[in-house]
Chain A
Amino acid sequence: MSSFTPIKEIDEEPIVDPSLDFNKVTELVAAPIESAKPPREWLMAFGVALALLGVLGASIGYLVTFGIGTWGNNNTVGWAWDITNFVFWIGIGHAGTLISAVLFLFRQKWRTSINRFAEAMTIFAVVCALMFPTIHVGRIWVIWWCLPLPNQMSMWPNFKSPLLWDVFAVSTYGTVSLIFWLTGLIPDFATIRDRTKNKIAKIAYGIVSLGWRGSNRHWQHYERAYLIFAGISTPLVLSVHSVVSFDFATSVIPGWHTTIFPPYFVAGAIFSGFGMVMTLMVLARELFGLHKIVQPRHLENMNKVILLTGSMVGYAYMMEFFIAWYSGSEYERFTFINRAFGPYAWAYWTMISCNVLSPQLFWFKKLRTNVKVSFVISIFVNIGMWFERFVITVTSLHRDYLPSSWNYFRPTIIDIGTFVGSFGLFFTLFLLFLRFIPMIAIAEVKAVLPAADPHHGAHDHDHGHAHEGAAEGHPVPAE
């Protein structure tokens, strides 16, 4: 978390607007929490989100009462929207950890403007994701058999099953992301505590900030903890979607049984996560006037990641086809030809145009720095990545080895209600976050301002030499 001074010689731009000082950062970020009333748009969105949350509750209630038969799943297509939605949400979660952990290790200081936001999104997406495998077991009241807890059967879970690996991977991911996020929030909660005039808010923020007093003796251990979290979250985020892909890859279904799945799923997850961060960031930035902190530079950087991971996903699609042909397995060949030209061709080509074609527009600087274009493409990415999971899950299953079992999956109203309702859950949590929790990491943004460098004044704004000072007398501590 060291300061950032742009190097003039190579036309580097400052991370946040140069007019910002420490106090202005606090004011800007605290404003949405401290305003007496939320913006009208927020209230309207919150109403819609609550209504959708109600739809989710009704759908799940109906499902638990009447069973999995209320979904469109059939004998041949045993996994459909439930798993599609699970993978969709867990993928969205990946951007948060990538931004908070991987970009931290690579010292990408621009991440400070968007990491809090993306991490919150991660946690809420993981909540939505965890819901789907939980409800799809049918007998939801014995879901705890997934955990290694003593039970009346004296049996333990089967640790050779990738589905159980998934339980551990996703719950660990959710827990670690939550701890990481809350750790980052401690100093910012303290900021709100010290500013608020409201008595109840003062007590509430006082408790969650744990009595933080900005002590440097605390910062020392805090920063090390942050570094360790980043260090362990990096392999974790790469492992989660790999384990999710094992659910498919360790089976013997044509179209699933491939070794390309782990890296291909991870790239897709980052792709979809950045898509969702972009969608939400553009909206929140407009709604709460955060243009000075979230600058076009941040959006451009995210678009570059979208372009890169989108191209990786496109490469994986091509490679799947090549391997299907190269393997010589007639089942593999049939599956892929069927994917592109069979009954679900409409889904396949939706996926290709959203995921592979639309991000290619970001090769043009004009387009990737345009907020409106970024927003539209991010929506396409969200749609495309949902279809990717649908295509993988359903097209591989609906044509079984026996043609007599061939079937076609159609969602029921309960399927649709659960999926649409999961957005209600996500946005309810997200809107509450925007209203009550600092949506930008205040302390981290301050730390990258040029003025945060203790040698800033000493060298009289000589930017070129600012970091040399740190190297001379005062070794840089771990960030």
Chain B
Amino acid sequence: MRCLTHEELLRHRMGLAPDTAEHAGHAEHIGGCAPCTGRIELLDRLLAGLSEGPLPDVPEHLVQAAKAIPRSAAPAAPGPLARVRELIAKKLVDTASFGLAPALRGSEEGGPVDRHLLYAADSFEVDLAVVEGGSLVGQVLADDGEGPHLSGAVCVLVGENAARETDVRNNGDFRFEDVRPGRYALFVESTELRLVVPELDLTSPT
């Protein structure tokens, strides 16, 4: 029995009569077919999105202010943001990718480590571990004694569902409890430094 076409599924979801005898005969196919179920979910999302109409307009003064940013943020007059050094970290190690035994950090972090990741940017490293129970613990390490860059830093973990923020301790440590599997971005920010882990994939099995 073949899958229904987008047109046939649309007619089904919109409550329209089947347009062909063949379509009518295959309607029972919908319930037990994974590709058809996936298409139906997409169509329902499409129809729901269309029923909402366009996103609301933006007030004109906001549009104009955003359009003016290139003029007001010109390099000739650097503002406070221009003094922040920003580094994008790249992944060096992921024990989930290579089937490696995770590093032994259990005693320090309060539980066995399920997964260990290491990111690096310039002279900084971000050492992350998912520990038993779902906590994410990390440490920002500077190999050239640039500790003052991290004074008063915060760490922000941004997921699809929420963002969470925690202080970075003087030794560079930070910790998030109960981190669910998912895709995240991680930011370590101080007044002088912004260290970014743009893609932190915690969906892989540990």
Whether both chains belong to one complex is answered with no
